[in-house]
Amino acid sequence: MFNKYTRGQEIMITVLSVLTVITLVVCSVWGKNSDGFHVQINDANHTIDSVAPTDSFQVRVQYYNRYSHKGKECFRFELNSITKEELMKFPGIAGGRASAIVGYRERLGGYYSMEQLLEIKCMNDTIVEKMKMWGWVSCDSIEKIDVENASVGRMKFHPYINFYQAKSIDSARWVCRKRGWNFGVDSCRRVFTAEEWKKVYSYLK
C-alpha cells in the first residue's frame, strides 16, 4: 500500500504524539495538586473538580498547602491573637518580622485590616498577600483610646497620632472642660487631615 508520508515525517508525527500524551498527563497531575482546594465525595472515594452538594452526598473540602519555605507550612490564623512564636512558624516570617508584627499591634491597639501590615518597614507585598490568604482579623479585641481621659503620652504612643496632634487634642479638651462643653471623638476631627482621620477614627472612643 502506498504510504503518503516519508520516513522523516512518520518519525516527527510519532514524536509529536508522544509529547502530546506526556503533556496531557503532566497537566492532569499538576491540576490535581496545584489547585487551592478540591472536593472529595466520600461515597465515591474519588476526587472531582466540582460537585453540587445534595443530601445524598457528603462533600468534604480539603485545602492544600500551596506554599512552603524552609520546612514551614502555611496555616490559618487570627492576626490580633496570634503570638510571636506562632508567627515564626509561618513561611517567610522569622524572629525579626514576628517581633515587628506583634510590636506594631501593641502600638495600634490591634489590627483592623491585614493591609496595615504593609505599614511595617520589614514587610513586603509578597509576604502580606500570602498572609491575607491564610489569616483573618477580628476587631472585637481592638483597644481604643479614650479621648476624654487619655494622656498626651498615651495618645502619641499610637502610630497614627504624633506629638503635636496629641497636644492639640489635649488643649481642645481643656478648653471644652473650662467652658462646660462636651468633648468627644468628633471634637478631634479638625486635628487630622481627611486621610489621617480615616485611619485613626477606628481607634478613638
Q: What is the pLDDT of residue 18?
A: 75
* Per-residue pLDDT, 97: 96
Structural domain includes residue 147: no
Same domain, 74 and 51: no
Domain edge (last residue) among 63, 92, 107: 63
Considering the domain architecture, whether residues 76 and 127 belong to the same structural domain is answered as: yes
pTM of the complete model beyond 0.75: no
169 within some domain: yes
What is d(CA 177, CA 137) in angstroms, rounded to the nearest whole number? Answer: 37
pLDDT at position 65: 41
Q: Which residues of 58-78 are buried (b: 16+ CB within 10 A; e: fewer)?
A: eeeeeeeeeeeeeebebeebe
Q: Which domain holds residue 176?
A: 152-203
Residue 147 · residue 188 · CB < 8 Å: yes
State how far the Cα of 134 lies from the Cα of 127, in Å rounded to an integer: 11
Backbone angles phi, psi at 173, to 5 degrees: -65, -40
Domain boundary residue, one of 63, 80, 111:
63
pLDDT at residue 14, as a whole number? 79
Give the strand pairing for 77-78 and 135-136: parallel
Assess if residue 11 is contained within a domain: yes
Residues 11 and 73 in one domain: no
Structure confidence at residue 194 (pLDDT): 95
Query: Is 137 in the same domain as 97?
Result: yes
Q: Are residues 135 and 87 in the same domain?
A: yes
Residues 132-167: pLDDT tens digits? 999 999 999 999 999 999 999 999 999 999 999 999
Residue type at 81 in one-letter notation: S
- Is 59 in the same domain as 75? no
Q: What is the pLDDT of residue 20?
A: 74
Spell out the per-residue pLDDT of the chain, length 205, in tens. Answer: 445 557 676 777 777 777 776 776 555 544 444 444 333 333 333 333 333 444 433 333 333 344 455 567 889 999 999 999 999 999 999 999 999 999 999 999 999 999 999 999 999 999 999 999 999 999 999 999 999 999 999 999 999 999 999 999 999 999 999 999 999 999 999 999 999 999 999 999 9
Shared domain check, 188 and 125: no
Looking up residue 133, the CATH number of its domain turns out to be: 1.10.150.320
Q: Is 1 a domain residue?
A: no
Three-class secondary structure of residue 40 per DSSP: strand
Domain count, the chain: 3
pLDDT at 45: 36
Work out the burial of residue 111: count CB atoms within 10 Å of its CB; fewer than 13 is exposed, 13-18 middle, 19 or more buried. Answer: buried
Q: Is the dihedral of CA 78, 79, 80, 81 positive or negative?
A: positive
Residue 134 within any structural domain of the chain: yes
Looking at the structure, do residues 51 and 85 belong to the same domain, yes or no? no
Q: What is the pLDDT of residue 142?
A: 95
| Same domain, yes or no: 83 and 120 | yes
Answer yes or no: is 2 within a domain: no
73 shares a domain with 42: no
Q: Are residues 196 and 173 in the same domain?
A: yes
- Structural domain includes residue 109: yes
The residue from 24, 40, 63 where one domain ends is 63
> What's the pLDDT at 27?
54
- In this structure, what are the phi and psi dihedrals at residue 41, rounded to the nearest 5 degrees? -95, 115
Per DSSP bridges, beta strands 68-69 and 72-73 are antiparallel
Q: What is the pLDDT of residue 3?
A: 55
Same domain, 161 and 177: yes
